[in-house]
Every structure is written in C-alpha cells, then in structure tokens.
C-alpha cells in the first residue's frame, strides 16, 4: 500500500476504534506478521519480515468489530483475527497483509454462575487470567493448554484447542455452550447458550480458525475447583503396553484428569522417574549445564538416524502419568487404585514422584524451543489423533518417515474412550539456515503424509492453519470440501477473513 493509502486507512480505523487503538509502525507490523510457527522464528532471527499486516487495530466492542469488518469488506481488504499469536501452524499470520484485528482489548470475564455451571468470557481474555479470575469464585474451566499464558479464549475456540486435562473435562468444543461472532458481512451472530435443535451452528464456528467469523465472546461450562488429588507414575514395559493400558483405563469407565504416556526418548524430557521436588541448581551451575546440554544436542544431532537407531536398542521403558482430581481425597484414591490395578498389568509402580514432577513442570516444557534454535537445530511438534486400533501404526509410521531428518519424540495424551492423540516432537540439525529449512520441510511433509496414510486425523488441537491446509481435502474428500466452501461463501462472501488458511 502507498503511504497516502495507509494514512487514509489509519484515519478511517481511528474513527471507528479511537486514536490509541490503531498502529501501523514498522515494528508493530513486523510483530504481528508472525505467530509461533517455528519457521517464522527462524525468519525473525535472520531479521526477515516475510509477512506483515498493513495495520493493526484493537477494537473494544462488538459494534467496533462489526464496523471494522464492514469497512474491510467495502475496501476488499483481508482481515486476520488475532488472539495472542500462539498458533504453531501459521494460523494467525496475515499472508495477504490487510487489517489484523487483535481482540485483547475485549479481554474481560463478563459473568460467572457456578450454580448453572457457566461463565461468559470475552474472546481476547488470556487463558491464565481467566483461570485466576475463576479461582476467586472457586471455579475452574478445566482447560489448561501448555500455552495457557500466551493464548486467548477466542483462539482456543477458533482452533479447537485441547488442555492437558482434556481426558476429564473435554476439549474446548465440549465446554462451549454459546458464542457471539461477527461474520464476514459484518452481521452479529449469537448462538446458544441453550442447546438448539437442528444442525449445530456453534460447532460450525468452533474450529473455523478465523475464516468464517470473528468471535467476540464465548459462554463456557465451568466446574467447582477441585480440592483433592491422587496421582502416580508408572514405568511401562513398552510403548505398546502403555497404549493398551490407556485404552483399558478408559474402557473401565475411569476418567482421570491426567493420563499421559511418553515414549522412551520423550520419557527423558518429561523428567523420567525422579522424585517430584523442583530441584533448582545454583545459577552458574545451571548456566554451565545449559551450555553442555546445547553442545550435546549439537553432537546428538550430527546424525539423527544414528540417535534414533541407538534408541531402538535401549529398553523401551515408557513413563506413564495418571492423576485424579475432585473434592474428596477418598474418591480420588479409590479411582486411582482402580486405574493402578490395570496399569500394573503392563508396568511398574513408581510412586507419586514422577506425577508430582510432571505437575510442577507441566507448562514449562513447551517453552524451550529457543534453546534448540540457538544450538543450530530446528524443532517442531506435530499432533494428530487416531482410534485405538491405529495408534501404534501411526506411531511407527511417523517415526520411520522422519527417521533420517530428525530425532523423534512422542507422547500419547488426551486419551478418550475411542482413541488418543499422538504428539510428536521433531528435532533436527540446521548446520546452515537453508539446510535446516529444507530438512524441516522434508521431515514435516513425510511425517504428515505417513500419519495420514496410517489413518490419523490431520490435527487434534493445533488446528489446520496455513501449514496443513493443503492436506484438508485428503481428509474431507471432494464433497466435504465443496460443502465447506459453500459455507465459507455464505459467511464471508468476499473472502476477506483470514485468506490463505483453512477454507481459502
Ligand atoms: C508453547 C506452546 C504450547 C502450546 N500448547 C498447546 C496446548 O497444550 N493445547 C492447544 O490446544 N494448543 C497449544 N498450542 C497452540 C496454540 O496455543 C493454540 O492453537 C491456541 O488455541 C491459539 O490461541 P491464540 O489466542 O494464541 O490464537 P492465535 O494464535 O492468535 O490464532 C489462532 C487462530 O485462531 C484465529 N483466531 C484467534 N482469535 C480469534 C477470534 N477471536 N475469532 C476468530 N478467530 C480467531 C486466528 O485467526 C488463527 O487462525 C501451543 C502453542 C505454543 C506456542
């Protein structure tokens, strides 16, 4: 856009949202040109700005959102809804520039009604703030994604997020009772909170990743804050024994808050079998350990295939963590013992320690990516889901497919009655930025293809974004895609909402 056009854009948006809520400075645009898609971090380290919106605007009311959408539509400008930018699939990156609409000024908890078990929350509220405020009413949403400090309610609903306790509380779509949204025509749409008969508009908008409407608030089901917890760690004989144990725990009718299994390599990163206290070494020692770790990562990554092969030879012990929460210690213990009877069939009881340790570190593991990039390596995660009959074939197929390019770690989390999600972490060498990017692309393509061919879904909770959009037709088929494109045209006739992603 030419400077004069940008100035007129600024003036128009300032009329809608107020002078302090519009920005088009280069640093702000660069900041909003990326999300937490790992390759975007590499570009940023190189000082490259590949994508940037023309302008960022922070609306404060639904009416302002409507006026911004209508303005964008009249001027054929792309519009990207933005929560906190924690998407790892380039969902919030403005691929075609235009207006980025950051919802964080609409970040309040509007009401809490524990008797009716529901809370109404504005879309831009950051997850941890929501939990902190709910806690004052002795309530919890029960939604704890690892990104809880840097993601919003709107982003969760838009991307069908899952928290660490989803086996018990469900994913965000299970908690969603109602929402308000502004469609691509600028119309306000209210759905729920009462359950309506007929096709479910709520679930159509949930997971629409900013391509059908801008979500402005959500009504979510909440729960009394648990006061008791009983937990355990187990060393499972093998990944297969662990997966079978997950399945049997669910089939027995148990619904633990946490039930996670780590493959042998991921067991090491999850803290393995040590006791639960957070042992912090003195600062200098910690720094030295950090340097050593990044050096050994460099050596280990010299040949990922070799590391993967070596790991095939070590005992396939896999850490399993299980926990029940509630309002009675006795009930939690009772449920835990029922689960332990099943888990003992495939593994050894390690006591409370590993589970305690898991709780202590549950939100910190995901934030270590920068250290990997600094060690001349790349890292990314790929989360898919499969029914129990396919879980192990997906696990093996992805490992085989990525064997040469990267070290492959996997944990099995978010277990349900019918299956579970597989969360892979790939870590590969990047001797040069270009080589790293090439290997990254190859590993990602091969891993995704292998997972789909082995019968996994495209995504369990990160969404489709820009990086998986190409593969959606494989999953939905021609008829499915045709219908969804018709839906897109109805909600957003001019195709202004988040172009280049899920449905465009
Ligand atoms: C360290 C780390 C750990 C993570 N752990 C988890 C995890 O445990 N579970 C999990 O589910 N995800 C996880 N993620 C992924 C990410 O946090 C989720 O996808 C989250 O739902 C994105 O929320 P956000 O507010 O940051 O949305 P953004 O990244 O800003 O946007 C994500 C998508 O939603 C759209 N969007 C955002 N807000 C709105 C709105 N109000 N209306 C319409 N569309 C909107 C955007 O256009 C984009 O397409 C993790 C990410 C990181 C970086």
Question: Over 90: is that where the pLDDT of 60 sits?
Answer: yes
Structural contact between residues 454 and 397, judged by C-beta atoms closer than 8 angstroms:
yes
Query: What pLDDT digit, counting tens, does each position of 228-239 carry?
Result: 999 999 999 999
- What does the pLDDT average to over 256-277? 75
CA 185 to ligand 1 centroid distance, Å = 24
Residue 347 CB neighbours (<10 A): 23
Backbone angles phi, psi at 363, to 5 degrees: -105, -5
Domains in the chain, CATH or no CATH each: 3-102 (3.30.43.10), 109-224 (3.30.465.10), 228-453 (3.40.462.40)
Could you tell me the two tokens for 192?
């729920």
Residue 128 — pLDDT band, cuts 50, 70, 90?
very high
244 phi/psi in degrees, rounded to 5: -65, -35
> Confidence class of residue 289 from pLDDT cuts 50, 70 and 90?
very low
Tell whether the model's pLDDT for residue 308 goes beyond 90.
Answer: no
Number of the ligand 1 atom closest to the C-alpha atom of 124: 41
Q: Whose CA is nearest to atom 11 of ligand 1?
A: 161
pLDDT for residue 287: 53
- CB of 422 within 8 A of CB of 263? no
| Cα distances (Å, whole numbers) of residue 474 to 45, 160, 456 | 34, 20, 11
Confidence label for 186 from pLDDT (cuts 50, 70 and 90): very high
Q: Which of 145, 206, 208 to mutate to test the pocket of ligand 1 (most atoms within 8 A of CB)?
A: 145
Q: Which residue, judged by its Cα, is nearest atom 23 of ligand 1?
A: 155
User: Ligand 1 pocket check: which of 32, 34, 86, 191 to mutate, most ligand atoms within 8 Å of Cβ?
Assistant: 86
pLDDT band, residue 436 (cuts 50/70/90): confident
More confident residue, 369 or 434: 434
Q: Is 70 helix (H, G, I), strand (E, B) or coil?
A: helix
Q: What is the mean pLDDT of residues 208-217?
A: 98
Phi, psi values for residue 325, rounded to 5°: -125, 155
Residue 468 has pLDDT above 50, yes or no: yes
With beta carbons less than 8 A apart as the criterion, state whether 54 and 9 touch: yes
Q: What token pair was written down for 264?
A: 């042998």
Nearest Cα neighbor of 185 from 214, 153, 217 is: 214
Residue 87 CA to ligand 1 center (angstroms) comes to: 4
Best substitution site from 107, 147, 458 to test ligand 1's pocket, by max atoms within 8 Å of Cβ? 147
- Note the pLDDT tens digit of each residue in 144-161: 999 999 999 999 999 999
DSSP class per residue in 138-182: TEE-----TTGGG-BHHHHHHHT---TTHHHH--HHHHEEEEEEE
Tell me if 35 sits within 8 A of 86, measured CB to CB: yes
Q: Does the pLDDT of residue 369 top 70, yes or no?
A: no
Strand pairing of 258-262 and 118-122? unpaired
DSSP β-bridge partners for residue 408:
426
Q: What is the pLDDT of residue 312?
A: 75
Cα 98 versus chain centre, distance: 25
Q: Whose CA is nearest to atom 9 of ligand 1?
A: 145
Least Cα distance to 83 among 161, 196, 165 occurs for 161
Q: Say what the pLDDT of residue 141 is.
A: 98
CA distances from 493 to 76, 201, 466, 488 (A): 11, 18, 20, 7
pTM, to two decimals: 0.93
3-state secondary structure of 303: coil
Nearest to 456 by CA among 501, 497, 422, 504: 422
- Tell me what pLDDT residue 51 has: 96
- Residues near ligand 1 with C-beta < 6 Å? 35-36, 80-88, 91-92, 103, 123, 145-147, 151-152, 154-156, 158-159, 161-162, 209-210, 214-215, 366-367, 461-463, 498, 501
Give the ranges where 344-425 is alpha helix by DSSP (H).
353-361, 369-374, 388-402
Q: First-to-last CA distance in the chain?
A: 22
């Amino acid at each position: 856009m030419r400077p004069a056009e940008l100035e007129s854009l600024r003036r128009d948006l300032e009329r809608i949202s107020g002078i302090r809520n519009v920005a088009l400075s280069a640093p702000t645009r660069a900041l909003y040109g990326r999300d937490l898609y790992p390759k975007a971090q590499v570009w940023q380290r190189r000082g490259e700005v590949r994508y940037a919106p023309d302008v960022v605007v922070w609306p404060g009311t639904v009416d302002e959102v409507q006026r911004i959408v209508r303005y964008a539509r009249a001027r054929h400008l792309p519009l990207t809804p933005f929560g906190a930018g924690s998407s790892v699939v380039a969902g919030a990156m403005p691929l075609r520039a235009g207006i980025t609409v950051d919802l964080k000024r609409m970040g309040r908890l509007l009401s809490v009604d524990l008797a009716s078990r529901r809370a109404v929350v504005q879309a831009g509220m950051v997850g941890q703030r929501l939990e902190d405020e709910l806690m004052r009413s002795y309530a919890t949403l029960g939604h704890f994604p690892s990104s809880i400090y840097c993601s919003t309610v709107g982003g969760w609903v838009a991307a069908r997020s899952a928290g660490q306790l989803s086996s018990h509380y469900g994913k965000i779509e299970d908690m969603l009772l109602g929402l308000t949204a502004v469609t691509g025509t600028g119309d306000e749409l209210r759905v729920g909170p009462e359950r309506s008969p007929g096709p479910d508009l709520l679930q159509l908008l949930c997971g629409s990743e900013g391509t059908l409407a801008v979500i402005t608030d959500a009504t979510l089901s909440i729960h009394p804050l648990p006061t008791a917890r009983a937990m355990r760690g187990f060393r499972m004989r093998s990944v297969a024994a662990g997966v079978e144990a997950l399945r049997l725990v669910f089939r027995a009718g148990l619904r633990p808050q946490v039930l996670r299994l780590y493959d042998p390599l991921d067991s090491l990163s999850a803290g393995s079998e040590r006791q639960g206290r957070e042992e912090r070494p003195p600062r200098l020692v910690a720094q030295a350990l950090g340097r050593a770790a990044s050096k050994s990562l460099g050596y280990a990554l010299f040949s990922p295939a070799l590391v993967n092969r070596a790991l095939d030879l070590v005992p396939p012990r896999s850490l399993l963590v299980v926990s029940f929460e509630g309002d009675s210690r006795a009930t939690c213990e009772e449920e835990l013992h029922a689960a332990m009877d099943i888990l003992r069939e495939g593994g050894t009881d390690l006591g409370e320690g590993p589970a305690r340790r898991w709780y202590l570190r549950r939100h910190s593991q995901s934030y270590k990516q920068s250290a990997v990039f600094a060690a001349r390596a790349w890292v990314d995660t790929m989360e898919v889901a499969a029914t129990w009959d396919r879980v192990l074939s997906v696990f093996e197929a992805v490992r085989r497919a990525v064997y040469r390019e990267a070290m492959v770690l996997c944990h099995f989390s978010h277990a349900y009655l019918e299956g579970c999600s597989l969360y892979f972490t790939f870590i590969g060498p990047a001797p040069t930025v270009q080589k790293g990017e090439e290997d990254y692309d190859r590993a990602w393509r091969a891993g995704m293809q292998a997972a789909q061919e082995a019968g996994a879904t495209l995504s369990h909770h990160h969404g489709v974004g820009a990086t998986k959009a190409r593969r959606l037709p494989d999953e939905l088929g021609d008829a499915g895609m045709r219908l969804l494109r018709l839906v897109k045209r109805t909600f957003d006739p001019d195709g202004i909402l988040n172009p280049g992603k899920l449905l465009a």
